[in-house]
């Protein structure tokens, strides 16, 4: 993981912490697995409550790309909402 990935994750976590539906956010993909390239995007797995997940999924609230928080050329992060039933097993 490069420093710009760390910086972007920090900014994303600050932004996500304002959303009370989100219980936690965990890095995923190549950044989390240690094989990220300098230009890799960042996947953040989001755990929502069992009550909030179906509504967020139905309305597409958590399907977007955030380029504003990334401080590197072409960089962005995207949320990957995780079904709480799966994450608790």
Residue 88: the pLDDT is 54
The pTM assigned to this predicted structure is: 0.83
- Residue 73, pLDDT > 90, answer yes
Asked if 64 contacts 78 with a C-beta cutoff of 8 angstroms, the reply is yes
CA dist 57 and 50 (Å) reads 11
Query: Which tokens hold the place of 63?
Result: 């399907």
Taking only the tens place, the pLDDT of each residue in 18-68 is 988 888 899 999 999 999 999 999 999 998 888 888 888 777 777 889 999
Asked if 16 contacts 25 with a C-beta cutoff of 8 angstroms, the reply is yes
Q: Where are the domains of the chain?
A: 3-80
Residue 28: the pLDDT is 92
């Amino acid at each position: 993981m490069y420093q710009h990935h760390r910086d972007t994750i920090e900014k994303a976590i600050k932004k996500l912490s304002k959303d009370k539906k989100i219980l936690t956010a965990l890095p995923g993909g190549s950044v989390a697995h240690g094989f990220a390239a300098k230009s890799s995007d960042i996947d953040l797995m989001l755990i929502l409550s069992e009550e909030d997940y179906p509504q967020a999924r139905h309305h597409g609230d958590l399907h977007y790309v955030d380029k504003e928080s990334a401080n590197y050329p072409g960089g962005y992060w995207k949320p990957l909402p995780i079904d709480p039933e799966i994450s608790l097993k």
